[in-house]
Structure formats: C-alpha cells, structure tokens
Amino acid sequence: GQQVMQIPQYQHVQEGEDFTTYCNSSTTLSNIQWYKQRPGGHPVFLIQLVKSGEVKKQKRLTFQFGEAKKNSSLHITATQTTDVGTYFCADGSGNTGKLIFGQGTTLQVKP
Amino acid sequence: DGGITQSPKYLFRKEGQNVTLSCEQNLNHDAMYWYRQDPGQGLRLIYYSQIVNDFQKGDIAEGYSVSREKKESFPLTVTSAQKNPTAFYLCASSRLAGRTEAFFGQGTRLTVV
C-alpha cells in the first residue's frame, strides 16, 4: 500500500546552517505535498509538487520532485530559529483518495 | 471566517467509555480525514471520506468509527475497543481527496484514564 519513508527523523543545526529532509516511496507518486507543524500546533500546508523533476522555491525553501516521481526533498538555506518544527511529506495519490504522511523530520535550530 | 474546527481542544475520559470528537468545516470541501498523532511520531490515517455519505478505513481504523451525513461534518468516535486511545487527534479537509492541499483543525488531545 501507500507508504512514504522520511529521513532523517531528527536534525539539530546551528542557526545559519542548511537543512535537508528526504522523502522516498517504493511506488510512483501522483503528487507530493509538504507540511510544517510548529511545536504544539497543527500541520500547515507548504507546497504541492506534481510534475516529474519539478523544483519550486519559497524564499529560503527549495522543494524538489524526483524524475521518477518516487522521491522528494525539502532544502532550507541558512536556517533561522523560526524554521523550528516538524516537516512532513505526504503522498496524495489521487486514485485512492488517501493522503498518507511520512514520519516527519523534526528540526531544532540552535541560535 | 472560513476554516475547520475541532472541539474540544482537551478531552478526558475514563477507560471503557466511548467518546466522540467533533470536526466541522465551512470550506465546502468534499474530502475529510482523521489522523492520530502520538508523541514524536507522524500522522497515521484513521478514516477518510471523499464525499458525503461515504467513508473508507485508513491504516489504523480498528477501535474507531465515523459518519459523514453532512458535507461539513465528520465526527470520530473512539470506542472502548481502542486499546490505546490517548493521543492527539487531527481532522483535515481538502477540496479533492488526495489531490489538493489539506487544511487541518487545531486538534483534540484525548486522555483516557
């Protein structure tokens, strides 16, 4: 069934360092969505990728969708303390209607 | 003010009692979802509904039940059959199931003692 693996589970960085989280699937994804959950909060949608090889940027965040549509990554350049939280990828395979989340990567940023 | 509302924010129940968590949306979304989140873990899908009067089991449906009698409402009942019900429960909705962004409620933290 649908399953997405996300690594690493935790990442501690010094403020100003870069950060990357990876999402992998054994099956082809119709789309991949990324969410951020602040501590004590609820997930908030960041972006959706649909096309093979797609790259999208939001300020310091860069999202990529693999050529085979089986993996995706989120890269944050020059982290800030406001980037703290858990980042989730989600498999939005339209055929089933399910939205399946990866385990998430929790980012801690030391000022 | 459009959005998705979960109530209550905190809920305490005694073991063996059924409890119903509310989820209401006024976004006119067809799809709604229930997730369970345990400390340090991801979101696990309990039930989802692609359209009113229809719903499907997710990955961890045992011990839970839902209904979707109205488009805007998708209540979740945690039954006494759920072995470990203490968790953070999140409801979400999206315009098209699995294909558009999901909007989440604030969540309900259920503690069973």
Q: Where do we find the tokens 């203490």?
A: B86
- How far apart CA A1 and CA A31 sit, in angstroms, is 16
pLDDT value of residue B2: 66
What order do you get walking across the sheet with B76-78 strand by strand? B4-7, B19-25, B76-78, B64-66
In A, minimum Cα distance to B105 occurs at: A42
CB-CB neighbors (< 8 A) of B35 in chain A:
101
DSSP alpha helices (H): ranges in chain A?
none
Q: Where do we find the tokens 């989140």?
A: B37
> Tell me, what amino acid is at A89?
C
The residue ranges of chain B whose pLDDT is under 50 are none
CB-CB neighbors (< 8 A) of B30 in chain A:
none
CB-CB neighbors (< 8 A) of A93 in chain B:
98
- How far apart CA B111 and CA B113 sit, in angstroms, is 6
The reply to whether A102 touches chain B by the CB within 8 Å rule is yes
Look at B41 and A106 and tell me if their CB atoms are within 8 Å: no
Decide: A29 and A15 in contact? Cβ < 8 Å: no
- How far apart CA A62 and CA B12 sit, in angstroms, is 41
> Tell me, what amino acid is at B96?
L
CB-CB neighbors (< 8 A) of A43 in chain B:
43, 90, 92, 102, 104
The residue ranges of chain A whose pLDDT is under 50 are none
Among B40, B41, B99, the residue with its CB nearest the CB of A92 is B99
pLDDT value of residue A93: 74
Look at B42 and A31 and tell me if their CB atoms are within 8 Å: no
The reply to whether A40 touches chain B by the CB within 8 Å rule is no
Decide: A21 and A73 in contact? Cβ < 8 Å: yes
Count other C-beta atoms under 10 Å from residue A91's C-beta. Answer: 23
Decide: A98 and B31 in contact? Cβ < 8 Å: no
CA B40 to chain centre: 19
* Structural tokens at position B9: 């924010």
* Structural tokens at position A100: 């399946």
Decide: B16 and B83 in contact? Cβ < 8 Å: no
Look at B41 and A88 and tell me if their CB atoms are within 8 Å: no
Q: Is the peptide bond before A8 cis (omega within 30 degrees of 0)?
A: yes
Short-list B55, B95, B52, B50, CA closest to B71: B52
CA A86 to chain centre: 9
CB-CB neighbors (< 8 A) of B98 in chain A:
30-31, 92-99
Look at B104 and A44 and tell me if their CB atoms are within 8 Å: yes
CA B17 to chain centre: 18
pLDDT value of residue A92: 86
